[in-house]
Structure 1
């Protein structure tokens, strides 16, 4: 859904539909009037947005006496609302600044690990072999924006990310990776070593040594 963050998108017809739906749920004919398009043209755009998980049908309403069958109402999905938020990076960064000032780096790391454990608990406990649990952990990490995959190298498992859900803060606060480390460890029930890349394009990277993986 990151493609929809492009400013050019919001100047396009589909972007204008998204902006209108953020203000209020609307029927196809209402969108068509607002945009100066035919109903069929609007339906085509809505179908594409629905396919990409940006909009959904939110029920039906009657258009008035003698107006035919009820019409579908369209609305943004909860996930799409996140496209409009730019607050998390500056807010989280400043919060971490305060934690360092108040608790020091070690105290901040301990708190971030605890946060990772609690996020893992929200997903529940995964079962199965070590590989199955790690694959499930990768899936959960991807739900949070990790874009990761599980690979096996020289007898060790490696979770290799192609992005980072905390990329906006790890350059200034590399200890934020401890949250992700505790998250993956808690989800898979194994000991995980964080080896994240924190250069220009931060990427998640976690190693699991078979001898430390526990049962499964």
Structure 2
């Protein structure tokens, strides 16, 4: 993500990455060789995007100096490679417990994340609203959904970016995590109609009411 920003903002963020304690407007101005007003404009824009935040005020000879630091969101825009570790974990579970147990664990993990998301968001009773909220959350997580739509009377989410893409290309079982998370969050049955890990252009998920279980007579 950082590559799509202007050069000055990239340089500013990298300076803050290297200086975890934070930097003042004057320090950034000297390092970037731009005016203090220019630095303030960049800081205002980056703070508005949630990438930086005010840190502590540092005592000085006169008025305390305000430090600026990277936010957690700002830290995450720098490249990080987790896929090799996740692949190692997936392979280890499969080798030790088998394919069935791997799918069970991925499903439980997805449901656990759904429980946390449900606790953080206002409960929706309307099925379409539930899917729309899920699409919004997935967008924030990086799936690039563009929101939810309705096809043949059923809610549909299409994602053209999978946050597990490299891992899923080698281990399609990872999709079990997504499916369990979506199902638990919306209380729906999920039809995974298209998958990028299997050659699709997008990942398409269709949501429908779960079939009612028949109760036996006692």
Classify the TM-score, shorter chain: 0.7 to 0.9
Asked if 2 retains the 8 angstrom alpha-carbon contact of 1:156 and 1:207, the reply is yes
* Residue of structure 1 equivalent to 2:216: none
Measure the CA separation in 1 of the matches of 2:40 and 2:199: 41
**Cα offset for 1:210?**
4.6
User: Could you list the per-position Cα deviations for residues 102-158 of structure 1 after superposition, in whole angstroms to 9, with x for gaps in the alignment?
Assistant: 222222111111100000111125322101111112122222211112111112221
Specify the alignment match of 2:215 in structure 1.
none
Rounded to whole Å, the distance in 1 between the matches of 2:25 and 2:75 is 20
Q: Name the SS for the 2:60 alignment partner.
A: coil
Summarize the Cα distance change of 1:110–1:96 in structure 2 as closer, same or farther, 3 Å threshold: same
Please report how far the alpha carbon of residue 71 of structure 1 lies from its aligned counterpart in structure 2 after TM superposition. 3.8
State the partner residue of 2:13.
18
Q: Establish whether residue 192 from structure 1 lines up as the match of residue 190 from structure 2.
A: yes
Equivalent residues, number:
206
Native 8 Å contact 2:169 2:198 kept in 1: yes
- Alignment match, 2:207: 208
Equivalent residues of 1:53, 1:80 under 8 A apart: yes
Displaced runs of 4 or more, over 4 A:
199-202, 210-213
Matches for 1:125-140 after TM superposition, within 5 Å: 126-140=123-137
CA distance in 1, matches of 2:39, 2:130: 43
Tell me, in whole angstroms, the C-alpha distance in 2 between the residues paired with 1:139 and 1:119. Answer: 15
Hey, what's the Cα distance between the residues in 1 that align with 2:126 and 2:198? 33
Identify if the C-alpha distance between structure 1 residues 210 and 117 changes in structure 2 by more than 3 Å, giving closer, same or farther.
Answer: closer
The 5 A counterparts of 1:85-96 are 85-96=79-90
Partners of 1:188 and 1:119 in 2: CA distance: 13
Q: Distance in 2 between matches of 1:76 and 1:91?
A: 25
Q: How does 1:59-98 map to 2 (within 5 A)?
A: 59-65=56-62, 69-98=63-92
**1:113 is the counterpart of 2:118:** no
Q: CA RMSD in A?
A: 2.5
Gaps of 5+ in 2: 213-218
Give the TM-score, by structure 2 length: 0.83
CA distance in 2 between counterparts of 1:207 and 1:27 reads 50
SS in 2 for 1:124: helix
TM-score of the pair, normalised by structure 1: 0.84
In the TM superposition, residue 38 of structure 1 has moved relative to its aligned partner by 1.9
Change beyond 3 A, Cα 1:204–1:19: same
For structure 1, list consecutive stretches of 5 or more residues without a partner in the other structure: none
CA–CA distance in structure 1, aligned partners of residues 155 and 124 of structure 2: 17
Offset at 1:59?
Answer: 4.5
